[in-house]
Structure 1
Amino acid sequence: MKKILVPIDFSEHSENALETAAAIAKKHGSELYVLHMLELSNAIYTASSATLNEEGVFYYKLAEKKMNTFLDRNFLEGIEITPVIKHFKVFKEINEIIDAHNIDMIVMGSHGTSGVKDVIIGSNAERVVRYSNVPVLVVKHNPILVEFNTGIFATDFSEDAIEAYLRAKSTFEKLDSKMHILYVNTPDNGFKSSTEIDVLVSKFLKRADGDLETYPDVTVVSDYSVEKGILNYANNIGADLVAVATHGRRGLAHFFEGSISEDVANHSTLPVMTFKI
């Protein structure tokens, strides 16, 4: 976990994300890229769109000042930090930063009242989560302990989820976290027999890993909804992190082939990490 991107809007939720990222960085020797988006309108650019006019320069300088103040925190001591201020096309520029600096993970703050749709940095936040090719860790609270010793990766074991599973597996290894692979069997979401699930899981793991070595890490639970199954299991094993796959074309409103709502992000007090399918 060499490079972590932290988008901020100078709010309390940004601070929670920054402190979480700092704890991860200290443990793994990571570098932090702290990003603030101005989201300026076209009117603030000159006719050539190459430079900012006086109003734009004012907002840029103000952001620089706020950034310096925001980064003056004890928990950032000893961490290599690169502050970045960008403007206008939020989603496009975030992905450019990911590619240009080989970012491994994004850590974002959430208001926690309406789910991941209220993640910071404005109206484009959900698009960051939806389309990012690197995992996105969404945090709601001030971190008490960021160890991530035990995590859950919930999946439907569909073929579409193979790539997300492999990236989750790699990320959990980088975080030194034990990954419990979870399937939730529900009465109204294509209930499967034990034999059907065994065939589904075996086929998935052979396709993804080439073997069944991780089969003992798979747990199947039955519950009234996938959200309840995930959260109840997380509570039962004392998980530090919940990870889910999300379809990029549909976003967090539809986990697992569009069947699961954003309730996991809404109701989980744990950090939630997403991997795009």
Structure 2
Amino acid sequence: MKTYLVPIDFSDVAINTAEFAAALSHQTKVEHIILLNAYYVSEYETLLPNPDMVLLREQDIEDEAADRIAKLQKIKADLLKKVRDGVEISVRLSRSHLLRGVVETVAKMDVDLVILGSHGNSSDTNSDIGSHVVKIAKACPVPVVVVPPGYKFDGIQKVVVACDFKKVKETAPVEGLKQLLERTGSELLAVNVGKDAQLEGADAENMAKETELYSMLKEHHPKYYYINSPDVMNGILEFATQHDARLVIALPRKYSFFQSLMHNSISQKLAENALVPVLLMK
């Protein structure tokens, strides 16, 4: 993962996310971090006055765009003091909607990872990006990291991979996961959360051996767990907290519990309740 994209709306949540990306650079092989701000002005806004009867002039739009670029440059200057030596940081202003701006930038700049800040379950936030996490995660063709509000990066020592062992019957696209593990040297915990009480305490490693998952992850010497929980999502997040994991990785929904991840209610729950960053693989 050589290029990270961090959408910025100048909220505290977004600034914290950018600092997370900078800190993460010390444990990964990233070469380029892009700070993106989306500033979309519809044609109607230049033709019709707003509720205060003020008509937006072209000069006003250009002044606002210049101000946003200046703010991005300031954030860039601060982050350059925090990233690993040699990492490039660039700024980009999109004149499209946030969602389109992210998707277009991913394609044009060969982005490998998008890092988003979630505003959690707090309504006291001015983060526009936080409220669009679900939509961006759905539309984005590359992996997405969702960072909880206020989360401070202090290294990735343990990683939880949440998947349904039974569903991994063919090779899953885990190259990005392997690259992350090789670079960070993190301890890997593979967890299957189920609702079958009879399997509580079952030998999770033997369960995994019957799937492709075991051979795919064997070189990283993971520890396997099977836990029983009526709420799969909460079960995974509680497991991560109890084991002091610093990252939860959800394999593509074909191989994981997150078949319904792209349903807004489930995605919102994940983004709101996670106490550690969540990486959504694609």
Normalising by the smaller structure, the TM-score range is 0.7 to 0.9
Counterpart in the other structure of 2:51: none
Worse overlay, 92-101 or 29-38? 92-101
Cα distance, 1:123 vs. partner?
A: 5.8
- Compared with structure 1, are the counterparts of its residues 119 and 222 closer, same or farther at alpha carbon in structure 2 (3 Å cutoff)? farther
Are the equivalent residues in 1 in contact too, given 2:37–2:94 (CA < 8 A)?
A: yes
Letter in 1 for 2:16: N
Alignment of 1:28-67 (within 5 A): 28=28, 30=30, 31-43=32-44, 53-67=58-72
Worse overlay, 132-141 or 161-170? 161-170
Cα distance, 1:186 vs. partner?
A: 1.3
- Compared with structure 1, are the counterparts of its residues 143 and 236 closer, same or farther at alpha carbon in structure 2 (3 Å cutoff)? closer
Could you tell me which runs of 5 or more consecutive residues in structure 1 were left unpaired when the two chains were aligned: 47-51, 249-253
Which secondary structure state, in structure 2, belongs to the residue aligned with residue 71 of structure 1? helix
Deviations 1:202-245 (A, max 9, x none): 23437x83x96678533211223212321232133221111224
- Compared with structure 1, are the counterparts of its residues 156 and 27 closer, same or farther at alpha carbon in structure 2 (3 Å cutoff)? closer
- Compared with structure 1, are the counterparts of its residues 178 and 226 closer, same or farther at alpha carbon in structure 2 (3 Å cutoff)? same
Letter in 2 for 1:109: G
Are the equivalent residues in 1 in contact too, given 2:204–2:225 (CA < 8 A)?
A: no
Counterpart in the other structure of 1:234: 240
Measure, in 2, the Cα distance between the counterparts of 1:214 and 1:24. 20
Measure, in 2, the Cα distance between the counterparts of 1:73 and 1:165. 33
Could you tell me which runs of 5 or more consecutive residues in structure 2 were left unpaired when the two chains were aligned: 48-56
Measure, in 2, the Cα distance between the counterparts of 1:42 and 1:2. 37
Measure, in 1, the Cα distance between the counterparts of 2:157 and 2:171. 23
For normalisation by structure 1, the TM-score amounts to 0.76
For normalisation by structure 2, the TM-score amounts to 0.74
Match of 1:111 among 113, 116, 119: 119
- Compared with structure 1, are the counterparts of its residues 236 and 195 closer, same or farther at alpha carbon in structure 2 (3 Å cutoff)? closer
Cα distance, 1:19 vs. partner?
A: 0.7
Which secondary structure state, in structure 2, belongs to the residue aligned with residue 243 of structure 1? strand
Are the equivalent residues in 1 in contact too, given 2:199–2:228 (CA < 8 A)?
A: no
**Which segments of structure 1 move beyond 4 Å, counting only runs of 4 or more?**
159-162, 191-201, 211-216
Measure, in 2, the Cα distance between the counterparts of 1:217 and 1:179. 6
Give the superposed CA RMSD.
Answer: 3.7
Measure, in 2, the Cα distance between the counterparts of 1:34 and 1:160. 38
The answer to whether 1:134 aligns with 2:142 is yes
Q: Percent identity?
A: 22
Cα distance, 1:163 vs. partner?
A: 3.6
Are the equivalent residues in 2 in contact too, given 1:2–1:104 (CA < 8 A)?
A: yes
Are the equivalent residues in 1 in contact too, given 2:250–2:278 (CA < 8 A)?
A: yes
Deviations 1:82-113 (A, max 9, x none): 00110124323322222222222111111111
Measure, in 1, the Cα distance between the counterparts of 2:221 and 2:22. 34
